[in-house]
Structure 1
Amino acid sequence: MKTNIYDLIVIGSGGAGMIAAITARKLGKSVLLLEKLPTLGAKLKATGGGKCNLTNTLSNEDFMNSFGKNGRFMSTAIQMLDKNSLREFFESIGVQTDTKDGFRIFPVTHNSSTIIKALEKELNNLAVEIQCDVKVENLLCNENSISGVKTNKGNFNCRNVIVATGGLGFPMLGANGDGYSFAKELGHKITDLYPAMLPVYTKETWVANCTADTIAKAIIKIDLKKAKKLKAVGDLIFTSKGLRGPVVLDFSREITPLLEKYDEVPLLINMVKGKTEDDIFSHFKKQAKEKPDANVLEVLSLLLPQSVSKELCNIVNADTSLKFKDQIGEVRNNLVKIVALTPLTVIDSVGYKKAMITRGGVTLKEINPKTMQSKLINGLYFCGEVMDLDGPCGGYNLQWSFSSGNLAGHLLKE
């Protein structure tokens, strides 16, 4: 499909970019999809650990609420392509989906390559023109309207451009923030950018002795005055250098901005499903009656994995060969306190190198939520991660990429 002036050029071949190109082509538009890497969907391949968690089973309302105060921005996009219509779309291009845990939705193969191959096949079936190894250098404008793009292989003329370049995470998969540069050069504001959805490193080294165990329903809070109200709940995993797991990946979006500001971010973690100090004292008293010969480690290990129990005992100098009641009073009190709220100090993160998403982006105030079109430049559209909107783990961000890409692909005008 060669043309002098394309109706649409899509920059970026992630989930948002590919579905935007498919949507526009189905509506009869001439479409050119540009990708700077040699193949399509590089970052999509890594999504969900390679399993490609497409979306989840939440209602549209709950889904949007999970994105916080900016969640309402996605209302039109989600209504147009929600979880049900997304599954129907993939079924129409030969991909069956399932939800084994009743929440997360995957392709039945649990392999992201299935999604990439199906989307690429659909692009080819629709005769979307695809050019890889093409780096866009600038967007071209004429009197506040898109007129084309400048690339390392020459200029391409078009009436509309969709920027679907993603964020800064996983630079080895092509992320370099060029979408932010395009937007900024045309007058758009970019909010502060931070790596998000990533593991963190702690000052405390004892975590390395607990890597075999997962803590279910851990509650994490930030022990800073201005962040007291922030908390997250979910599964926690210890690593050789710090913390990961769904709760950390979700909460990291709050931690990384503070880490940049303070260098260290103190956390308080409840690993006993919200039990208070009184609850924990009661547990020790109850077990003293039921298991009078059990030492403090054996009793504590009924609440926490033994590896974690041993480390907490070591921190407060509890003698693990003695019963709880035989510890000195200060040790008993300190043990209960550290079980209720375990302090850990974040000193670093893996950064953009392994950040699954980027917090921040093109400010939503300058994008029309009913069209995804720029309010500043006619014919300029944004979709996916390049915008200032990110959600938690569990298919949220990929659903948003598909929904926003689909809406942008309609090329609706104000």
Structure 2
Amino acid sequence: MLNQLRFYHKEPFHFFPPRNIPAISIIVNPLMAEKQFAQLIVVGGGPAGLMAAGQAAGLGVDTVLLEKMEQPGQKLRITGKGRCNLTNVCSQEEFIQHFDRQGLFLRQAFARYFSQDLLDFMDSLQVKTQTERGGRVFPVGEDASDITQKLTHWAASQGVRIQCRTAVQNLLVKDRVFQGVTASDGTVISAQAVILAAGGASFSHTGSSGDGFRMAAEIGHTVVPIRPALVPLKSSGDVCQRLQGLTLHNVEVRVLLDGKVKFKDFGEMLFTHFGVSGPVILSMSGKIVDALREKKKVEISIDLKPALDEAKLDARLLRDMDTHGKQYFRTLLDGLLPQKMVPVMADYCGIAPDKPCHQINAQERALLLHQLKDFRIEIKGHLPLDAAMVTAGGVSLKEVDPRTMQSRLVEGVYFAGEVLDLAADTGGYNLQAAFSTGWLAGNAAAQWLMALSTP
């Protein structure tokens, strides 16, 4: 009863601190496993899976975690460019907004396990954290591999049997009741419940190859079409190629769909040999991918001088041209733009770089003003799903109970992490969602299993 009270109420909050164990317990060959059954199977050893398994085992549930790779957390090791952006300190309401319409689904999970809970948990693992620009939280050590190792050790310390090199082929269901799993080598592992935390379909070399979507569909779940999110974009023409390697700081980027501005963001972007990338581009890429799928014309408009409105910028251009009238146009641009952008801007304006400033007429000045405030690039595509940081789409949220992460279709099946139809922009939001849904699924599955065994 005490565990039930703790689960269904925010206070007092509980997590399980690491127990003293001599070494991590990982089975690398499924045939070496002592038992081919468990109360609970967790499929996938990412942040959601490790958190879920550790929570369930900490409540006394016999738990086995099956991971297809040689060690858990392969994708976690490269998050945040290897620095591991754990979470964000923004409010719960703002957090939810970053997931767009799907965000409301997370309200229950965040109410039970949110950013401060995760930071307290990391502190119990002796991980010190620091908050950076935009509320992003990173470990002080800036080492995602260290986080992965400590999280794996913690799960093992709770009693989780971590079995690597064990790819799950399918879930065994009879009369809409979960029975167990079949491994790719044919081994059958029986269990009363499963938490499917197999990740998305991006960065497949880390093990996230879309297996979870297939397994969910096979037992009757609807899978919202998967597509890339947080993905670099491809552009038309050669402008981005000419600007390759250039990073623009503090610019406003507006996205136009069929000629109309639909959304915008402010921050940093990068030009590549194929198009554009960087935080501000990645954050909006999910919506752009959807627009491209709908065959809409997509353009980005870059305000290169967002701190100045058109009137103030025009006044500055007039002043500079009067003061430095004998200087060349390219010299004027040197004072306004990064050097690599000067010849490109001259081409956009159709003004010769060596034209003296005092010869630039009002029409040409107006064109320059326009380009500085509305530098257009047409977007023709995006990199493939495997290059995306996050997978959009996944198991339909309508078929999952947000209070427990349990399937509404099959008894004993739970979901956690990126396999769900949840995707946010950059800033620690996606990783927090993985930890929160994993925590909730692990606790809920354990409570359900304990209730089954109670006379």
**Superposed pair shares fold, TM > 0.5:** yes
Matched, 1:148 2:185: no
In structure 1, the partner of 2:286 is 253
Matched, 1:18 2:58: no
SS of match in other structure, 1:229: strand
In structure 2, the partner of 1:181 is 214
Contact persistence 2:179–2:190 (CA under 8 A): yes
Matched, 1:163 2:163: no
AA partner of residue 148 (structure 1): G
Cα deviation, 1:312-356, whole Å, max 9, x if unaligned, reads: 112222122335552244433322222211111222322123211
Q: How far apart, in 2, do the equivalents of 1:268 and 1:351 lie?
A: 23
In structure 2, the partner of 1:54 is 86
SS of match in other structure, 1:262: coil
SS of match in other structure, 2:418: helix
Matched, 1:269 2:269: no
Moved more, 244-253 or 316-325: 316-325
Matched, 1:72 2:104: yes
Matched, 1:88 2:120: yes
Contact persistence 1:207–1:242 (CA under 8 A): yes
In structure 2, the partner of 1:196 is 229
In structure 1, the partner of 2:420 is 387
In structure 2, the partner of 1:285 is 318
Structure 2 unmatched runs, 5+: 1-32
Contact persistence 2:233–2:277 (CA under 8 A): yes
Q: How far apart, in 2, do the equivalents of 1:157 and 1:334 lie?
A: 70
Counterpart among 39, 45, 52 of residue 7 in structure 1: 39
SS of match in other structure, 1:221: strand
Structure 1 unmatched runs, 5+: none
Q: How far apart, in 2, do the equivalents of 1:102 and 1:193 lie?
A: 28
AA partner of residue 386 (structure 2): K
Counterpart among 397, 400, 403 of residue 436 in structure 2: 403
Moved more, 302-311 or 363-372: 302-311
Q: How far apart, in 2, do the equivalents of 1:27 and 1:156 lie?
A: 21
Q: How far apart, in 1, do the equivalents of 2:134 and 2:393 lie?
A: 30
AA partner of residue 192 (structure 1): P
Matched, 1:240 2:270: no
Cα deviation, 1:11-41, whole Å, max 9, x if unaligned, reads: 1111111111111111111101001112111
Matched, 1:372 2:405: yes
Contact persistence 2:259–2:297 (CA under 8 A): no
Q: Taking every aligned residue pair, what percent have the same amino acid on both sides?
A: 33
SS of match in other structure, 2:225: coil
CA-CA distance at 1:276 after TM superposition: 4.6
In structure 1, the partner of 2:348 is 315
Q: How far apart, in 2, do the equivalents of 1:272 and 1:108 lie?
A: 34
Contact persistence 2:58–2:159 (CA under 8 A): no
In structure 1, the partner of 2:166 is 134
Cα deviation, 1:133-160, whole Å, max 9, x if unaligned, reads: 1111111112212111111231111111
Contact persistence 1:324–1:332 (CA under 8 A): no
Contact persistence 1:5–1:159 (CA under 8 A): no
Moved more, 121-130 or 225-234: 225-234
Contact persistence 2:131–2:138 (CA under 8 A): yes
Q: How far apart, in 1, do the equivalents of 2:337 and 2:276 lie?
A: 16
CA-CA distance at 1:172 after TM superposition: 1.6
Q: How far apart, in 2, do the equivalents of 1:380 and 1:330 lie?
A: 66
Moved more, 306-315 or 114-123: 306-315
CA-CA distance at 1:274 after TM superposition: 6.3
Cα deviation, 1:273-312, whole Å, max 9, x if unaligned, reads: 2645444322212333555555443434444323223311
Aligned residues: 414
Superposed, 1:336-355 pairs within 5 Å as 336-355=369-388
TM-score by length of 2: 0.85
CA-CA distance at 1:216 after TM superposition: 2.1
Matched, 1:363 2:396: yes
In structure 2, the partner of 1:42 is 74
TM-score by length of 1: 0.93
Contact persistence 1:13–1:35 (CA under 8 A): yes
Contact persistence 1:7–1:160 (CA under 8 A): yes
Q: How far apart, in 2, do the equivalents of 1:120 and 1:83 lie?
A: 20
SS of match in other structure, 2:79: helix
AA partner of residue 127 (structure 1): G
TM-aligned CA distance change 1:60 to 1:326, over 3 Å: same
AA partner of residue 75 (structure 1): R
Contact persistence 1:162–1:408 (CA under 8 A): yes
CA-CA distance at 1:358 after TM superposition: 0.8
AA partner of residue 429 (structure 2): Y
Contact persistence 1:297–1:306 (CA under 8 A): no
